[in-house]
């Protein structure tokens, strides 16, 4: 999902709506925990109304035969419906955000059911659900509605699962991509991808909106945390491993469809400012800065790796490419047809990022022209589109603005994926089995291992590892914040241990643990009673745009003052950074007894941090980016060139361990 979003209401212009209203249908679906559902072993529409099996239902036939038989039976509207990646908004009456959750609990289901049963949308993004069983019952209900449609075409259910099945309560959630890049452990990354595939299919999710193939070449960009850092070859290796593991040798009933994003590489945004900066009411007219074709080709390497690995889908972004044209990639013929289809040879589904029509309208195109551009750019799936778009595309075909053959080509690609995923044969899942599989102990142990291996020790004067018998002050705004461990793209409150809780369990019974979040004076008072201070700082959970903004990479005054007040007492101070991008930390590097980069380590991150601090696990992470000495260094570097900061505070690949 990309937010804030813009909708066209009854053709009367655009209005801005809150992120939560876009996701309303997703969360509403998640609340259907008591819905009746079809048993997992029930056949999916084996017979038609005449008691006969239609050819497209016959799994003994070749996929191509089944696809062609089904397309021949579909109306134009049914074909176009398959191109909609649904988000149905029951709050279109203008219900203010503060009443959002209460309203959803009482909201009728007709809008969502009609979108699936009558409008025949092809894809649905599922949002927050409180448990794996609840998610499974939700997707079963959605598939039951799909089965009740005229042709019974199943849904592809998707999730923004970039670091685990993170919108399902109790799922396995590991470090964001920037932390996984710090591990340099491809086997571990493949293991986690296999876990995501198992957990996704267990709850009826068939598509992940990932992996992220962007290269984080600008420290200011808020989405560096979703990238594998600024080494292009490492990013390509990681993306290849994820696609090969999630999808397998070919798409099957065990696969999760990958949607590699954000084509053609969203990392080098101008001035580090994302095209969907949430501090603005409208999407920004931003370009990806690519200074030469050679640089563009470098940023395309992870996408080439994904295509070679067989990624079934690719998602273009909101930004344009300054060296190609000033049209957002998600509606650009030169980018999607000439570059992606022809030059790179991609034959899979192009699934736009959210709200492509409205994005082009903001650039000055009228609605019909925007739709025409998107279809002609070979986009197969409209992300976040409402059922209204179905009739709009149908009308453009009828008035010969769009040829129906282009619609047919898109639907062929979509239906082939659905057949390959086994959805026509059985789209239902077992809710009890989902509860057993998702977030099980074995999976959680892999998540803990990933968090441990990601942690990167930047400085240590010998104070670490800590003895268990020690009085500890735990301080800082991130010290008791679970959300800062799981961080962005985590849609349901997750359980786990905070840094404070993990340290409390680590010290001996004879030791004391003091705690203070933000008050510098009180923290200094407590520090005088302690043998060591651990201060957890950094940015809280976010998506797209970092809370400090691209223009700030240093700690806020209050966080730095907290550290300095504790340090002034003479108590050795360990600073733990929860961070999704490089920070400028010269004072901490020079004065703190130890500095630990924890990135955003997932729900087991608190335990991993305590394990490293107390020596139960020796740190082994390596920086996936450069750490600049000053913001001036950042301004002198180029947005599109990796590792071009001269004399950084910490170089790429830096990381200490214990002797």
The CATH number of the domain holding residue 591 is 3.40.50.1700
Q: Are residues 88 and 237 in the same domain?
A: yes
Contact yes or no for 129/91 (Cβ under 8 A): no
Q: Are residues 488 and 603 in the same domain?
A: yes
In a domain, 336, yes or no: yes
* Distance in angstroms (rounded) separating the CA atoms of residues 44 and 47: 9
Q: How many structural domains compose the chain?
A: 2
In a domain, 397, yes or no: yes
pLDDT tens, 313-326? 999 999 988 888 88
- Look at residue 32 and tell me whether its pLDDT is greater than 80: no
- Reported as a pLDDT band with limits 50, 70 and 90, residue 45 is low
| Displacement of CA 497 from its chain's centroid (Å) | 22
Token pair of 481 as six digits: 């914040």
Whole-angstrom CA distances from 143 to 249, 262, 462, 607 are 26, 29, 58, 39
Average pLDDT over residues 325-340: 94
Query: What does the buried/exposed string (b/e) look like for 469-504 if buried means 16 or more CB atoms within 10 Å of the residue's CB?
Result: ebbbbbbbbbbbbbbbbbbbbbbbebebbbbbbbbb
Which residues share a beta bridge with 452? none
Token pair of 439 as six digits: 């977030």
Chain position carrying tokens 């059985």? 426
Whole-angstrom CA distances from 18 to 97, 146, 223, 353 are 7, 28, 20, 17
Closest of 365, 367, 393 to residue 379, by C-alpha: 393
In a domain, 18, yes or no: no
Task: Give me the pLDDT at residue 19, please.
Answer: 37
- Look at residue 99 and tell me whether its pLDDT is greater than 70: no
* Distance in angstroms (rounded) separating the CA atoms of residues 356 and 377: 12
Q: What is the CATH classification number for the domain harbouring 218?
A: 3.20.20.300
CA 76, 78, 83, 86 dihedral sign is positive
CA 290, 292, 294, 297 dihedral sign is positive
- Look at residue 182 and tell me whether its pLDDT is greater than 90: yes
In a domain, 54, yes or no: no
Whole-angstrom CA distances from 565 to 285, 475, 603 are 43, 11, 30
Closest of 120, 377, 408, 106 to residue 264, by C-alpha: 377
Burial label, 187 (beta-carbon count in 10 A; 0-12, 13-18, 19+): exposed
- Look at residue 7 and tell me whether its pLDDT is greater than 60: no
- Look at residue 12 and tell me whether its pLDDT is greater than 70: no
* Distance in angstroms (rounded) separating the CA atoms of residues 482 and 432: 28
Token pair of 137 as six digits: 């019952």
Q: Are residues 168 and 261 in the same domain?
A: yes
In a domain, 179, yes or no: yes
Query: Which of 41-45, 108-112, 424-428 reaches the highest mean pLDDT?
Result: 424-428
In a domain, 646, yes or no: no
Contact yes or no for 254/247 (Cβ under 8 A): no
Q: Are residues 487 and 349 in the same domain?
A: no
Q: Are residues 109 and 232 in the same domain?
A: yes
Query: What does the buried/exposed string (b/e) look like for 575-587 if buried means 16 or more CB atoms within 10 Å of the residue's CB?
Result: bbbbbbbbbbbee
N residues, the chain: 659
Whole-angstrom CA distances from 554 to 56, 247, 252, 550 are 59, 40, 47, 11
* Distance in angstroms (rounded) separating the CA atoms of residues 411 and 417: 10
- Reported as a pLDDT band with limits 50, 70 and 90, residue 47 is low
- Look at residue 15 and tell me whether its pLDDT is greater than 70: no
Q: Are residues 529 and 463 in the same domain?
A: yes
In a domain, 372, yes or no: yes
Range of the domain at 208: 71-133+154-416
Q: Are residues 612 and 513 in the same domain?
A: yes
Task: Find the helix or strand (DSSP H, E) in which 295 lies.
Answer: helix 293-299
Q: Are residues 550 and 461 in the same domain?
A: yes
Please name the residues in contact with 248: beta carbons below 8 A apart, sequence gap of 6 or more.
Answer: 254, 255
Task: Find the helix or strand (DSSP H, E) in which 597 lies.
Answer: strand 594-599
Chain position carrying tokens 């950042």? 634
Task: Give me the pLDDT at residue 44, please.
Answer: 57
Q: Are residues 377 and 465 in the same domain?
A: no
Residue 211 main-chain phi, psi, to 5 deg: -80, 165
- Reported as a pLDDT band with limits 50, 70 and 90, residue 362 is confident
């Amino acid at each position: 999902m990309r937010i804030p979003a813009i909708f066209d209401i009854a053709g009367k212009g655009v209005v801005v709506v809150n992120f939560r209203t876009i996701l309303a249908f997703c969360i509403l679906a998640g609340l259907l925990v008591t819905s009746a559902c079809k048993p997992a072993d029930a056949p999916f529409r084996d017979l038609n109304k005449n008691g006969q099996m239609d050819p497209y239902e016959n799994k003994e036939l070749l996929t191509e035969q089944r696809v062609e038989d089904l397309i021949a039976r579909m109306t134009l509207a049914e074909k176009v419906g398959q191109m909609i990646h649904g988000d149905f908004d029951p709050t279109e009456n203008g219900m203010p955000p503060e009443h959002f959750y209460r309203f959803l609990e009482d909201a009728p289901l007709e809008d969502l059911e009609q979108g699936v049963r009558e409008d025949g949308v092809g894809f649905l993004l599922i949002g927050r659900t409180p448990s794996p069983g609840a998610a499974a019952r939700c997707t079963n209900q959605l598939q039951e509605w799909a089965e009740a449609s005229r042709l019974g075409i199943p849904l592809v259910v998707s999730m923004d699962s970039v670091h685990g099945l993170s919108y399902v309560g109790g799922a396995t959630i590991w470090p964001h991509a920037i932390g996984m890049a710090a591990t340099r452990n491809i086997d571990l990354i493949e293991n986690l991808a296999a876990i995501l595939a198992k957990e996704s299919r267990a709850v009826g999710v068939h598509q992940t909106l990932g992996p992220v193939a962007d290269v984080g070449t600008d420290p200011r960009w808020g989405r560096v945390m979703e990238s594998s850092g600024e080494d292009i070859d490492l990013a390509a290796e990681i993306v290849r491993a994820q696609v090969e593991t999630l999808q397998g040798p070919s798409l099957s009933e065990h696969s999760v469809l990958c949607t590699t994003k954000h084509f053609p590489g969203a990392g080098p945004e101008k001035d580090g400012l994302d095209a969907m900066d949430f501090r603005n009411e409208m999407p920004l007219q931003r370009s990806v800065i690519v200074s030469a074709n050679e640089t563009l080709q470098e940023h395309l390497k992870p996408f080439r790796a994904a295509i070679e690995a067989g990624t079934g889908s690719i998602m273009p972004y909101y930004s344009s490419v300054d060296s190609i044209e000033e049209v957002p990639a998600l509606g650009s013929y030169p980018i999607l047809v000439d570059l992606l289809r022809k030059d790179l040879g991609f034959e899979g589904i192009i699934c736009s990022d959210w709200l492509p029509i409205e994005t082009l309208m903001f650039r000055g195109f009228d609605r019909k022209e925007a739709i025409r551009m998107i279809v002609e750019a070979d986009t197969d799936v409209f992300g976040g589109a409402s059922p209204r778009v179905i009739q709009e595309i149908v009308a453009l075909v009828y008035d010969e603005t769009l040829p129906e053959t282009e619609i047919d080509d898109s639907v062929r690609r979509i239906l082939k994926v659905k057949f390959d995923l086994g959805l026509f044969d059985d789209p239902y899942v077992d809710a009890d089995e989902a509860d057993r599989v998702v977030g099980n102990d074995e999976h959680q142990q892999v998540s803990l291992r990933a968090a441990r291996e990601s942690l990167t020790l930047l400085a240590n004067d010998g104070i670490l590892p800590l003895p268990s018998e020690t009085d500890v002050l735990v301080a800082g705004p991130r010290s008791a914040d679970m959300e800062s461990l799981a961080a962005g793209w985590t849609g349901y409150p997750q359980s786990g241990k905070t840094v404070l809780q993990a340290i409390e369990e680590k010290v001996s019974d004879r030791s004391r643990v003091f705690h203070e979040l933000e008050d510098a004076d009180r923290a200094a008072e407590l520090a005088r009673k302690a043998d060591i201070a651990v201060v957890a700082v950094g940015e809280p959970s976010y998506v797209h745009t970092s809370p400090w903004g691209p223009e700030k990479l240093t700690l806020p005054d209050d966080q730095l003052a907290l550290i300095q007040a504790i340090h002034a007492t003479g108590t050795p101070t360990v600073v733990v950074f929860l961070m999704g991008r490089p920070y400028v930390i010269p004072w901490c590097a020079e004065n703190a007894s130890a500095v630990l980069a924890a990135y955003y380590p997932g729900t087991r991150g608190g335990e991993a941090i305590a394990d490293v601090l107390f020596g139960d696990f020796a740190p082994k992470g390596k920086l996936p980016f450069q750490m600049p000495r000053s913001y001036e260094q950042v301004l002198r570097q180029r947005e599109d060139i990796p590792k071009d900061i001269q004399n950084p505070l910490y170089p790429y690949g830096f990381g200490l361990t214990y002797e």
